[in-house]
Structure 1
Amino acid sequence: MAGAANKKQKRADYRLARSQQDGATEMPKKKFYRQRAHANPFSDHQLEYPMSPEDMDWTPFFPAYKTDPEELPEATASNDAQIEQRQQSSMRQDVEILDIGCGFGGLLVALAPKLPDKLVLGMEIRTQVTEFVQERIRSLRAQHQDSNEFQNVSCIRANTMKFLPNFFKKGQLSKIFICFPDPHFKARKHKARIVSTTLNSEYALVLRPGGIVYTITDVEDLHNWMVHHLELHPAFERVSEGEQESDECVKIMTTETEEGKKVERNKGQKFVALFRRLEDPPW
Structure 2
Amino acid sequence: MAGAPNKRQKRAEYRSAREQHGGTEMPKKKFYRQRAHANPFSDHQLTYPRTPIDMDWSTFFPAFVCHQDQEPADAKSQDSIAVMSTKKMKQDVEVIDIGCGFGGLLVALAPSMPEKLILGLEIRTQVTEFVQERIRSLRAQNPETNVYQNIGCLRANTMKFLPNFFKKSQLSKIFICFPDPHFKARKHKARIVSVTLNSEYAYVLKPGGIVYTITDVEDLHEWMVHHLEAHPSFERIPFEEQEADECVKIMRTETEEGKKVERNNGPKFVALFRRLEDNPW
- TM bin, normalised by shorter chain, reads over 0.9
Verify the 8 A CA contact 1:67 1:87 in the aligned structure 2: no
The within-5 A match list for 1:210-249 is 210-249=208-247
TM-score, normalisation: structure 2: 0.92
> How far did 1:279 drift?
0.1
Q: 2:96 aligns with which of 79, 95, 98?
A: 98
Verify the 8 A CA contact 2:24 2:138 in the aligned structure 1: yes
Q: Which one-letter code corresponds to 1:32 in the other structure?
A: F
Partner of 2:6: 6
Partner of 1:176: 174
- What SS is found at the alignment partner of 2:270? strand
Q: 1:276 to 1:11 in 2, by over 3 A?
A: same
Q: 1:274 aligns with which of 272, 275, 278?
A: 272
1:189 aligns with 2:182: no
> How far did 1:50 drift?
0.2
- What SS is found at the alignment partner of 2:37? coil
TM-score, normalisation: structure 1: 0.92
> How far did 1:3 drift?
8.0
> How far did 1:247 drift?
0.2
Partner of 2:76: none
Distance across 1 between alignment mates of 2:256 and 2:216: 13
> How far did 1:112 drift?
0.4
Q: Which one-letter code corresponds to 1:161 in the other structure?
A: M
The within-5 A match list for 1:35-50 is 35-50=34-49
Residues 68-117 of structure 1: per-residue CA shift (max 9 Å, x gap) = 11236xxxxxxxxxx9x955731000000000000000000000000000
Partner of 1:53: 52
Q: 1:107 aligns with which of 87, 94, 105?
A: 105
What is the root-mean-square deviation in Å for CA atoms of aligned residues?
1.9
Residues 12-31 of structure 1: per-residue CA shift (max 9 Å, x gap) = 3223443x458522100000
Q: 1:34 to 1:171 in 2, by over 3 A?
A: same
Residues 253-283 of structure 1: per-residue CA shift (max 9 Å, x gap) = 0000000000000000000000000000111
Distance across 1 between alignment mates of 2:240 and 2:158: 30
Q: Which shows bigger deviation, 8-17 or 112-121? A: 8-17
Identical columns (%): 78
Partner of 2:27: 28
Q: 1:202 to 1:88 in 2, by over 3 A?
A: closer
- What SS is found at the alignment partner of 2:69? helix
Distance across 1 between alignment mates of 2:173 and 2:39: 25
Verify the 8 A CA contact 1:184 1:193 in the aligned structure 2: yes
Q: Tell me, which stretches of 5 or more residues in structure 2 are unaligned? A: 72-80
Q: Which one-letter code corresponds to 1:44 in the other structure?
A: D
Distance across 2 between alignment mates of 1:4 and 1:134: 29
Residues 158-193 of structure 1: per-residue CA shift (max 9 Å, x gap) = 000000000001000000000000000000000000
Runs of 4+ in 1 over 6 A off after TM superposition: 2-5
Verify the 8 A CA contact 1:23 1:138 in the aligned structure 2: no
1:71 aligns with 2:95: no
> How far did 1:11 drift?
1.5
Partner of 1:62: 61
Distance across 1 between alignment mates of 2:275 and 2:182: 26
Distance across 1 between alignment mates of 2:278 and 2:84: 32
Verify the 8 A CA contact 1:69 1:87 in the aligned structure 2: no
Q: 1:28 to 1:281 in 2, by over 3 A?
A: same
- What SS is found at the alignment partner of 1:150? coil
How many residues were matched structurally? 271
Q: Which one-letter code corresponds to 2:220 in the other structure?
A: L
Verify the 8 A CA contact 2:53 2:86 in the aligned structure 1: no
Partner of 1:209: 207
Q: Tell me, which stretches of 5 or more residues in structure 1 are unaligned? A: 73-82
